[in-house]
Homo-oligomer: A and B are copies of this chain.
Amino acid sequence: MKIISNIKEVQEQVRSWRRERETVALVPTMGFLHEGHLSLTRIACNSASKTIVSIFVNPTQFSPDEDYEDYPRDFSRDEELCRRENVDLVFYPPVEEMYPEDFSTWVEEKDLSGRLCGRSRPHHFSGVTTVVSKLFNICLPDTAVFGQKDAQQAIIIERMVRDLNFPVNIMLGPIIREEDGLALSSRNIYLTEDQRCRALSLSRGLNNAAEAFSKGQNDAEKLKGIVLNELQEAGVSVDYVELVSRENLKPLNIVNCPALLAVAAYVGNTRLIDNCFLNE
């Protein structure tokens, strides 16, 4: 497994693979890998002959009051995990390699990015689309794999790929959960035992709503109410519960098209998100 921190070196490696008719799949990550990330690398390995994992805690998707400095990092553990998953290349650039001092070009999706998480994190998705554009141009993948855990991010990237004509096929990996239902997240290590317990209200609420939907309930207010109830009972601080179109993230009154039921909530100081697709 190669570990490369230099952009030009990655581009040369991928070009040389392409000349040998290899296909390339990319899994962009911020590191501190867990089973969720590893499930994405397995999808990547199955869909291309070479797999690249990028590990980069992207400063431009954090606002100044967020946890960029404290975001958990453990490269030697990540490296070992990638090795075990037969990853071919880990791209691990320093910040200066990705953002030179007079960096001034941004890729911005201006419709979907203002919805859901975009309301409380107004610059987040412009950081994401910019860094993912860079990663696409650096790693030149045929396929890139994103997690459904960050559903809005994945949907925005699908839109960006369509709008800017990136020759990249986007695949979505399902949410990986602990046995009790908690969606895996690098930020879960912030939770105390009590918070961890209350955090289960997110997945429980979504589960109950999905079950109600499968039994015929398609009124958005009622479905959102089921989730809100669980969150409030667990005493977590709700950022949003939204039921929106899978395609354009616009709020739905009735679930009559592929839909996304998404939740964001603060458990203590830790912001957690979770979601499920309805009517797929």
State the A residues within 8 Å of B (CB). 7, 11, 15, 18-19, 21, 100, 102-112, 129-130, 133-134, 137-138, 140, 159-160, 162-167, 248
Do A164 and B134 have beta carbons less than 8 Å apart? yes
Chain B residues, CB < 8 A from A248: 102
Q: Among B18, B103, B106, B130, point to the contact of A18 (Cβ < 8 A).
A: B18
Do A164 and B105 have beta carbons less than 8 Å apart? yes
Between A21, A163, A248, the greatest number of chain B beta carbons within 10 A of the residue's beta carbon is seen for A163
Bound Cα distance A112, B102 (Å):
10
Chain B: CB-nearest residue to A108: B106
Do A105 and B134 have beta carbons less than 8 Å apart? no
Do B106 and A107 have beta carbons less than 8 Å apart? yes
Chain B residues, CB < 8 A from A107: 105-108, 133, 164
Q: Among B15, B105, B162, B167, point to the contact of A129 (Cβ < 8 A).
A: B105
Chain B residues, CB < 8 A from A164: 105, 107, 130, 133-134, 137
Give chain B nearest CB distance to A168 CB in angstroms.
9
Bound Cα distance A18, B134 (Å):
22
Do A159 and B109 have beta carbons less than 8 Å apart? no
Do A163 and B104 have beta carbons less than 8 Å apart? yes
Chain B residues, CB < 8 A from A109: 104-105
Chain B residues, CB < 8 A from A104: 109-112, 159, 163
Chain B: CB-nearest residue to A106: B108
Bound Cα distance A133, B140 (Å):
14
Chain B residues, CB < 8 A from A7: 165
Give chain B nearest CB distance to A62 CB in angstroms.
19
Give chain B nearest CB distance to A249 CB in angstroms.
11
Chain B residues, CB < 8 A from A140: 167
